Structure 1
Amino acid sequence: MAAQPFKEEHKLLKRIAEGDERAFSQLFDNYYRTLADFVFRLTGSLEVAEEIVQEVFVKIWEKRDELLKIKKIGDYLFILCRNRGVSYLRQRARDYMRLRAYAQSEINEIELENHHLARTERLYVIIEQAICALPSQQQKVFRLAKLNHFSHAEIANQLSISVETVKKHMKLALRSIRESVKENEYAINSILILFLWFFSCM
């Protein structure tokens, strides 16, 4: 169901600006599903879409004293969601490029014959698919550790979990990735050994 503009939108925004939580709930309930559907079509992930929309509304509440400057709140919400969705897609692209970069830096140390190149490209895909198949929290921990080079303590602080929980997620993630890669016929070569050694290092 599409969101409907409020008849007295300015009054509603004024109430929110004054800290009226009930008015804020009205705004949230009216736009949440439409915005989530919009971001889902953009990112292809329901979980990401819901997270982005929630973050946008948190921002709206935190900066509620500026709401009266907004002419059309619906348009404003869609712009915020669109911008965050695009930022998410850009970050995923950067993550993929980092994955390719570190893999290529390792592979360059080995003298590969031409027929190995096709397997290398396939291995990139296998690893990325294995990462994407991880549970959400494991995937976040793994990407922060391996792609952003965060320490266990930094990851724990970022995700508001304990260091021990970070270690547990990392251990489970590495195990799942190893199993996924081992199941693929392209993995039976010296490149696999190199990758698994890298994934095991903390």
Structure 2
Amino acid sequence: MGKSIHRLINEAELFSGLAKGDERCFDAIYNHYSNRLFPFVDKMVRSRNLAEEIVQDIFVQLWINRHLLENVQYPTAYLFNIAANKTLTYLKKISNNQKLVDKISAGYLDYSNDTEEQLILKESAKIIEMAVAQLPQQRRLIWELSRNEGLTHQQIADKLGISTSTVNNQLGHAMQHVRTFMNNRTGLLSLSIFILLSDR
């Protein structure tokens, strides 16, 4: 545990250094992450050349937007968020076929069984839990019945003795709060977060 925390602190410090324009920090981040991002992107695009191009683009974007990195708390999740978003954005540009996008998303779910992606999903889930904890009592209960217990809107309404329109309204407000909270924490909404937040 101590070793993991120490690594996280070092990575956060590297991002902070990069935010100040330190090229050595950029090189260290590139060397540390490029080989980890490549198989993640390659799994979705199934093209080595395209995956290499996207990974290079990720780091170009990272350098251009380095001033935004001062307070990044979860460097690994942050970079994989960028990778997921950039990859899906590219795929959507080259295909108007929704089935392809769905297939890519399904492939991501399969890939997320790997240890690295499990860590990212766990980090995202923890932040979502923090957001949900801030919800008003009834709104939080409705969220938990929907997300954790898998009840339909009608079942929640019957269980709590309220209307389905109230359930819909409360879940809508809860979703907006969680999305805003996630954006403020990570700066992005990745595919992994979308999967965690999407309706079941």
* TM band (smaller chain): 0.3 to 0.5
Tell me the TM-score normalized by structure 1: 0.42
TM-score by length of 2: 0.43
Between 1 and 2, higher relative CO (CA 8 Å, sep ≥ 6) is seen in 2
